[in-house]
């Protein structure tokens, strides 16, 4: 959370600095303020709306069955394990759900640590032994305990805001400069001349779209880096709850899973993410072998003491 807070402070500091620089270039202050407000509303609005609706969206998008009253021995066992692990880390019992899917997967989501959801695929229950299921549940409980859903939302909101503001600011300056180069004789009448304003508007739209795509790509790299790091922390958190051996065994079992079938809006939350066939930098999850090796190093370091 401290990293996310620092990121937010840095983001707004950069926006304010750029705002002052824009004013010195001749951009009216009300335009700068309008861009800042728009960037914040759109950037954070979309991210937090998704977060607050995350449980509702997740349950319906994967047709999950919420376990309100356990109907069989497996459901009783799942509820008891989640209840015990939640108590162990000091959070309220999350809602537990099972959803139909062939792949071995699970995820946690929710706007608050004490009002979260843990969802498990039917493929996981059919293909993992109970020690491995315990480890996966502990991994998701660790995500909740770490506040990963809120942290990732803050990071996404900051990056969205930054992308919208920077692309708008740079586009505003570039479109003005290029318009003046194309029609230098109209510079003194630019706000009253229809043709000048028309060219300027078209340039602004084109440049803004191009820069939005470019900056958005860089923002995705940052988001995915944070996503990969949180998987390592959740693995270690699970190892602290159930032991490193169980978590390593669960990750080994994931190697035999079908390719994840979950929707793209949920895949970054899952314990098993989709492989990126182009470049690892855009992957939401580290390779399973890296996660296993990290757990082994952690386990060996614990043994020394």
Q: What is the pLDDT of residue 123?
A: 94
How far apart CA 31 and CA 16 sit, in angstroms, is: 13
Residues 6+ apart with CB under 8 A from 68: none
Catalytic, out of 75, 92, 134, 140: 140
Tens-level pLDDT at each residue, the chain (305 residues): 555 565 566 556 666 666 665 565 555 555 667 777 777 777 777 777 887 888 898 899 999 999 999 999 999 999 999 999 999 999 999 999 999 999 999 999 988 889 899 999 999 999 999 999 999 999 999 999 998 888 888 788 878 888 888 888 788 778 877 877 776 655 555 445 667 777 778 888 888 889 888 988 888 888 888 889 999 999 999 999 999 999 999 999 998 888 888 887 788 888 887 765 556 778 888 999 999 999 999 878 876 65
Q: What is the pLDDT of residue 20?
A: 60
Residues 6+ apart with CB under 8 A from 43: 157, 158, 159, 160, 161, 162, 163, 164, 165
What are the angstrom distances between the C-alpha of 39 and each of 46, 48, 159, 209?
Answer: 11, 14, 10, 15
Q: What is the pLDDT of residue 294?
A: 93
- 140: annotated active-site residue: yes
Q: What count of Cα atoms within 13 Å lies in the side-chain half-sphere of residue 180?
A: 9
Q: What is the pLDDT of residue 147?
A: 87
Strand 95-99 to 106-109 pairing: unpaired
Q: What is the pLDDT of residue 16?
A: 63
Q: What is the pLDDT of residues 241-274, one digit of tens each?
A: 999 999 999 999 998 888 888 887 788 888 887 7
Q: What is the pLDDT of residue 190?
A: 46
Supply the pTM of this predicted model. Answer: 0.83
| Listed residue (204, 215, 206) closest to 160, CA to CA | 215
Domain chopping of the chain, boundaries: 1-62+146-184+191-258+277-304
DSSP characters over 96-157: EEEE--SS--EEEE-SSTTS-EEEEEHHHHHHS-HHHHHHHHHHHHHHHHHTHHHHHHHHHH
- DSSP code of residue 142: H
């Amino acid at each position: 959370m401290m990293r996310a807070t620092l990121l937010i402070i840095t983001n707004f500091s950069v926006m304010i600095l750029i705002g002052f620089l824009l004013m010195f270039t001749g951009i009216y202050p009300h335009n700068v303020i309008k861009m800042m407000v728009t960037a914040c509303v759109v950037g954070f609005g979309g991210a937090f709306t998704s977060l607050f609706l995350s449980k509702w969206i997740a349950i319906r998008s994967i047709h999950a069955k919420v376990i309100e009253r356990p109907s069989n021995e497996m459901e009783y066992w799942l509820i008891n394990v989640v209840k015990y692990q939640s108590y162990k880390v000091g959070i309220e019992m999350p809602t537990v759900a099972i959803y139909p899917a062939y792949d071995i997967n699970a995820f946690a989501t929710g706007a608050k640590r004490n009002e979260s959801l843990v969802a498990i695929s039917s493929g996981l229950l059919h293909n993992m032994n109970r020690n491995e299921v315990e480890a996966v549940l502990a991994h998701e409980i660790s995500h909740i305990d770490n506040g990963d859903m809120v942290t990732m939302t803050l990071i996404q909101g900051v990056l969205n805001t930054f992308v919208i503001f920077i692309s708008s600011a740079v586009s505003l300056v570039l479109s003005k400069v290029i318009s003046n180069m194309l029609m230098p004789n109209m510079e003194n009448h630019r706000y009253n001349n229809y043709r000048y304003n028309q060219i300027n508007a078209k340039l602004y739209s084109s440049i803004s779209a191009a820069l939005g795509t470019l900056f958005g790509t860089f923002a995705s790299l940052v988001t995915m880096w944070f996503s990969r790091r949180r998987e390592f922390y959740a693995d270690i958190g699970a190892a602290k709850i159930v032991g490193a051996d169980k978590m390593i065994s669960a990750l080994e079992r994931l190697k035999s899973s079908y390719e994840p079938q979950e929707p793209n809006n949920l895949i970054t939350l899952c314990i098993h993410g989709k492989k990126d066939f182009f470049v690892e930098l855009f992957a939401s999850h580290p390779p399973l072998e890296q996660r296993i090796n990290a757990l082994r190093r952690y386990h060996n370091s614990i043994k020394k003491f």
